[in-house]
């Protein structure tokens, strides 16, 4: 997972005193396909995954139970990746900059509370999904792809990487802080209905050069309507 330059992690206000850590990878859609024995297959796999996500989200509801299960699993994994990407990017970070609202005090306390909660959450779900992965192995006796095993397998890997990122960020990463006034406005917009706030949130995301921020904010800010 490619990290932002200088490991910039944004402390995004979500309303009701809630905050979340957020970052974006560099553009992962280069115009020219990579070359090399390892990078070419990885690039093809990545493109197939993007196509699978697009198909799962746009496909008309199917009468085929297996197709519905596959589309549901692909969509859930895509959401999980979006939610956990920041923690994954912190797995090897030794230094990082926390970009926070200019009117927020005790930024380190807020950051550490988020990381502690994330480490606990992903640790618990790592165990739960690991057990469910073992149980789902029974379905290998049924002909056809074991969608449940694939799903829980990906979840196990995702929770493990997120847990590692939270632990690294708490125990090893050396943090610096800078303020960003645009985040103050996001705090005020969190309580505004989605349709009314959308143009301003999009403008803030563009000003911060964070093209996926608007979608993230709409997904997690309250009220989300």
Query: What six digits make up the tokens of 103?
Result: 């009117």
DSSP letter assigned to residue 16: T
Cβ-proximal residues to 153 (8 Å cutoff; 6+ apart), any chain:
133
Global pTM value: 0.75
Count other Cβ atoms within 10 Å, centred on residue 170: 16
CA-wise closest residue to 89 among 5, 17, 180? 5
Per-residue CA distances from 1 to 69, 92, 102, 131, 138 (Å): 27, 11, 29, 27, 32
Phi-psi region of 98 (alpha: psi -120 to 50; beta: other; left: phi over 0): beta
Instruction: Delimit the domains of the chain by residue range.
Output: 5-220
Intra-chain end-to-end CA distance of the chain, in Å:
31
Per-residue CA distances from 193 to 11, 186, 224 (Å): 21, 13, 7
Q: How far apart are CA 15 and CA 116, in angstroms?
A: 20
Per-residue CA distances from 67 to 55, 63, 74, 210 (Å): 11, 8, 11, 34
* Beta bridge partners of residue 9, listed in sequence order: 98
Per-residue pLDDT of the chain (225 residues; tens, 9 = 90+): 334 445 799 999 998 789 999 998 654 444 444 555 555 554 454 556 566 656 665 666 655 766 666 676 676 666 767 778 899 999 999 999 999 999 898 899 999 999 999 999 999 999 998 998 888 776 655 555 556 777 788 788 889 999 999 999 999 999 999 999 999 999 889 888 889 999 999 999 999 999 889 988 988 886 544
Starting at the edge strand found earlier in the chain, the sheet holding 95-100 runs 18-22, 8-15, 95-100, 174-179
Handedness of CA 149, 151, 157, 160 (dihedral sign): negative
**Main-chain phi, psi angles of 193, to 5 degrees:** -55, 150
């Amino acid at each position: 997972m490619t990290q932002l330059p200088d490991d910039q992690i944004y402390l995004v206000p979500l309303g009701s005193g809630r905050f979340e850590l957020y970052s974006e990878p560099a553009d992962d859609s280069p115009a020219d396909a990579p070359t090399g024995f390892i990078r070419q297959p990885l690039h093809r796999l990545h493109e197939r995954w993007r196509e699978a996500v697009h198909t799962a989200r746009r496909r008309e509801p199917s009468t085929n139970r297996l197709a519905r299960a596959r589309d549901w699993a692909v969509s859930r994994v895509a959401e999980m990746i979006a939610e956990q990407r920041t923690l994954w990017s912190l797995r090897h970070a030794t230094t990082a900059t926390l970009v926070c609202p200019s009117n927020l005090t005790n930024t380190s306390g807020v950051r550490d509370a988020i990381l502690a909660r994330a480490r606990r959450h992903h640790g618990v779900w790592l165990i739960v999904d690991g057990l469910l992965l073992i149980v789902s192995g029974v379905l290998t006796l049924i002909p056809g792809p074991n969608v449940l095993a694939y799903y829980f397998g990906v979840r196990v890997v995702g929770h493990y990487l997120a847990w590692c990122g939270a632990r690294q960020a708490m125990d090893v990463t050396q943090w610096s802080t800078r303020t960003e006034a645009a985040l103050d406005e996001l705090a005020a917009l969190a309580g505004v209905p989605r349709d009314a706030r959308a143009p301003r949130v999009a403008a803030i995301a563009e000003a911060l050069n964070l093209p996926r921020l608007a979608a993230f904010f709409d997904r997690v800010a309250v009220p989300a309507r």
